[in-house]
Amino acid sequence: MSTTLTADTPLLHAPPAPAAPLVHAPALPAARRPRTAWLRRHGRSLAAALVLAAVLFPFLWLVQLAFRPAEAVFDDALLFRPTLDGFASLLQGNFLRSFWNSLVVSTLSTVMSLLIGVPAAYALTRWRFRGRRHVALWILVTRMAPPIAFTIPFFLAWRWLGLQDTLLGLALVYLTFNLAIVIWLMQTFFEAVPPALEEAAYIDGCGVWQAFRRIALPLAAPGLAATAVLCFVFSWNDFFYALILTRTQAVTAPVAIVNFLQYEGWEWTKIAAAGTLVALPVVVFTVLVRRYLVRGLTAGGVKD
Amino acid sequence: MPSPSLPWTAGGWQAERRRAFGLGLAPALAVLLLITLLPAAALLVGSLTPLSLTDPAGSFRFDDPLVNYRHLLEDERFLGSIATQLKLSAASVVLQLGVGLGLALLLDGRSRLLASARTAFLIPMVLPPIVVALIWKIIYTPDVSPMHRALEHLGLPVHSLIANPGTALWAIAVADTWQWFPFTLLMVLAALQTMPAEPLEAARLDGASRWQLFRFIVLAHIRPVLVVCGLFRLIDSFKAFPLIYVLTDGGPGNATEVTNYYGFIQAFNFSYWGYGSAIAMVILAGVFLLSWGVGRLGWNTHEHDTDR
């Protein structure tokens, strides 16, 4: 863009020059522009790299703390012999179990919300019924509602139903946000599938759901995968519901970390190792689905 | 309603199609009804009773339905928590918008390095909130904090920021900003990438300064997105929990006790479920009001100029 402009600029700029403020003219000598543009571009990358390092520093500090020997936690030296002691100490307690609980709950909740949510998203995309906007808005509002509003009724109901401190109970509660995410996101992916393909299938005698299974779903498969990953991550990340709705049996990894903080003194390497382990799947997934992540994280924010 | 213009459409097919779609939609709507509207109704009903652990017999008394709400108006701690909430929300939303906007302008370029930086900048937002809280617990705990050590080396030792009532809320606002600025960054970047090039070129030819370009063209283009971002983050800021739970536990004193946290304490530390429900209802009302604002202000109106 700037290269095409430099060729034109002197010609086009000359006539209105008297009208423009005089100070402005020497600021853009045609000869210097390529060099300043080059500098500007690389200066920008340099600045971005510096800011990135500063922003990620607190996170990286946590990770390096996980590999420090316990006796070197309070050392100033940045060089140390990395050790896995912090991670090894996690093997002894209940942390592995909570990690497993997190995996099960997140998977269960993801599968349930996909099973229920994907057909609903498809119906909402292809079926322009009256009240469709209201349904869409309702689903958006459930994303907005504060968890505390749901927690008190769920806490009381789960006590009564015997679902408190169970993995199933927690997975069901996670539907409150995951279902909204699935319905919202999958609509955008189904909208990208041309309806003409399905109409052709109808003519060939396919039913609605046969056309969905054979045509729309395979074409939306990458979106489906990304949606599944996001559901998993949102369930994995939850702390509030898990804190309130679990006691001992169904404790998830985030709650286990807090228990370390509260009951096991200040074993920083152990705590940092647990934090690193819990962050690991999320960071891996972020890299895997970064293209779709934007949509999921801003779901409802940008109508794309 | 059904369009009879399609040549292959028989009335029966349309009805069948509608029924099939209804069948696909029904389970999701039923589940949503059960897990969102029913609890919301239960919350409302619960907030009208003196429900608590110590008084299970009095659970469903409605002789004085507004008792909880009347108490709320006299509860200094509750009113204080709203003030704290507003301060925290305002501070962190303004900071996030500023940082996010600034970084979006910095990262809006075509080089590969900038593209990968854009992904890396998302990390704070996707990390489990409890890990974010842990990260900042480490930063704010003088023994292990690199920040405190660096300040000490410079001869400027400071006391723990989260133990000081004057700075605790700011410390949380900074951590919250660190976690959530990527949201604004993402949204503003998306808006910048849909910005048409012609007005900028035209203005440049007319001799506009860089500030004028930013102020009158770029900012005008991304303003709706910024407003939506601000509202979204404002709504989400009412949910702030793990940071406060891990960093300060609402303290020191009540310095960082926001409304959400106060509701949590009433409902789950003291088991005053009825009173906690009333607090949650107040938050819910605030969220609804703001969501309605989102619907009015940006989300519906700019759907036409974001390109697909």
If you average pLDDT over residues A223-246, what whole number do you get?
A: 90
User: Which runs of consecutive H residues, i.e. helices, occur in chain A?
Assistant: 2-13, 33-66, 85-92, 95-126, 132-144, 147-161, 167-191, 195-203, 208-211, 217-219, 221-237, 240-245, 253-263, 268-288, 290-297
Of B32, B280, B287, which is closest to A179 when you measure between CB atoms? B32
Residues near B24 by Cβ (< 8 Å), separated by ≥ 6? Answer: A119, A120, A122, A123, A208, A209, A212
Any idea what DSSP says for residue A33? Answer: H
Q: To the nearest whole number, what is the mean pLDDT of chain A?
A: 79
Q: Specify the pLDDT at position B59.
A: 64
Q: Which residue has the tokens 């009825």?
A: B274
Contact B258, B240 (CB under 8 A): yes
Within 8 A of B114 by CB-CB distance, chain A residues are 44-45, 48
Whether residue A190 is contained in a domain is answered as yes
User: Which runs of consecutive H residues, i.e. helices, occur in chain B?
Assistant: 11-32, 38-47, 67-74, 76-107, 112-120, 123-126, 129-140, 146-153, 168-193, 198-205, 210-212, 219-237, 242-247, 259-264, 273-294
A241 pLDDT above the threshold of 50: yes
A223 pLDDT above the threshold of 80: yes
Contact: A282, B24; criterion CB under 8 Å: no
Whether residue A72 is contained in a domain is answered as no
Q: A18 and A152: one domain?
A: no
Q: A47 and A173: one domain?
A: no
Q: Hey, CA dihedral for A85, A87, A88, A92, is it positive or negative?
A: positive
Cα–chain-centroid distance for residue A53?
A: 21
Domain ranges of chain B: 68-303
Within 8 A of A293 by CB-CB distance, chain B residues are 122, 126
Whether residue A80 is contained in a domain is answered as no
Largest CA distance in chain A: 82
Q: Which residue has the higher pLDDT, A28 or A227?
A: A227
Interface pTM, i.e. ipTM: 0.84
Q: Please give the Cα distance from B20 to B6 (Å, whole number).
A: 19
Q: Please give the Cα distance from A154 to A161 (Å, whole number).
A: 10
Q: A123 and A247: one domain?
A: yes
Q: Specify the pLDDT at position B306.
A: 38
Whether residue A191 is contained in a domain is answered as yes
Q: A9 and A95: one domain?
A: no
| Burial of residue A111, with CB atoms counted within 10 A of its CB: 0-12 exposed, 13-18 middle, 19 or more buried | middle
Range of the domain at A15: 2-66
A266 pLDDT above the threshold of 80: no
Whether residue A303 is contained in a domain is answered as no
Residue B270 token pair: 């003291």
Last residue of some domain: A14, A34, A66? A66
CA distances from B76 to A278, B72, B80, B81, B83 (A): 39, 8, 6, 8, 11
Q: Please give the Cα distance from B226 to B184 (Å, whole number).
A: 7
* B21 interfacial to chain A (CB closer than 8 Å): yes
If you average pLDDT over residues A223-232, what whole number do you get?
A: 88
Contact B212, B203 (CB under 8 A): yes
Q: Please give the Cα distance from B287 to B300 (Å, whole number).
A: 18
Which amino acid type is present at position A34? P
Q: A46 and A98: one domain?
A: no
Of B134, B228, B273, which is closest to A62 when you measure between CB atoms? B134
CA distances from A22 to A4, A10, A15, A299 (A): 24, 15, 13, 48
Q: A137 and A266: one domain?
A: yes
pLDDT digits (tens, 9 = 90+) for A44-92: 888 888 999 999 999 998 898 888 887 777 766 667 777 787 788 888 8
Buried b (16+ CB within 10 A) or exposed e, B214-233: eeebbeebbebbbbbbbbbb
Q: A190 and A277: one domain?
A: yes
Q: Specify the pLDDT at position B302.
A: 41
Q: A107 and A198: one domain?
A: yes
Whether residue A252 is contained in a domain is answered as yes
Q: A32 and A108: one domain?
A: no
Residues near B216 by Cβ (< 8 Å), separated by ≥ 6? Answer: B203, B208
Whether residue A76 is contained in a domain is answered as no
Prior bond of A16 cis (ω within 30°) = no
Whether residue A71 is contained in a domain is answered as no
Within 8 A of B123 by CB-CB distance, chain A residues are 56, 59, 283, 286
Any idea what DSSP says for residue A150? Answer: H
CA distances from A211 to A196, A199, B24 (A): 11, 8, 13
pLDDT digits (tens, 9 = 90+) for A163-209: 889 999 999 999 998 998 898 888 888 888 888 888 888 888 888 88
If you average pLDDT over residues A100-109, what whole number do you get?
A: 94
* Strand partners for A302: A299
CATH class of B68-303: mainly alpha
If you average pLDDT over residues A219-227, what whole number do you get?
A: 86
Q: Please give the Cα distance from A190 to A203 (Å, whole number).
A: 20
Q: Please give the Cα distance from B127 to B125 (Å, whole number).
A: 6
Residue of B nearest to A303 (CA): B303
Q: A59 and A111: one domain?
A: no
Q: Please give the Cα distance from A176 to B64 (Å, whole number).
A: 32
Within 8 A of A16 by CB-CB distance, chain B residues are 206-207
Contact: B268, A244; criterion CB under 8 Å: yes
Q: Specify the pLDDT at position B94.
A: 95
- Report the CATH number that the domain containing residue A176 is assigned in CATH: 1.10.3720.10
CA angle centred on A296, ends A290 and A299, rounded to 5°: 145
Which residue numbers in chain B have pLDDT < 70?
1-11, 55-60, 294-295, 297-308
Q: How many domains does chain A have?
A: 2
Residue A61 token pair: 């500090």
Residue of B nearest to A281 (CA): B127
Q: A96 and A59: one domain?
A: no
Chain A interface mutation, best of B114, B130, B181, highest count of A Cβ atoms under 10 Å: B130
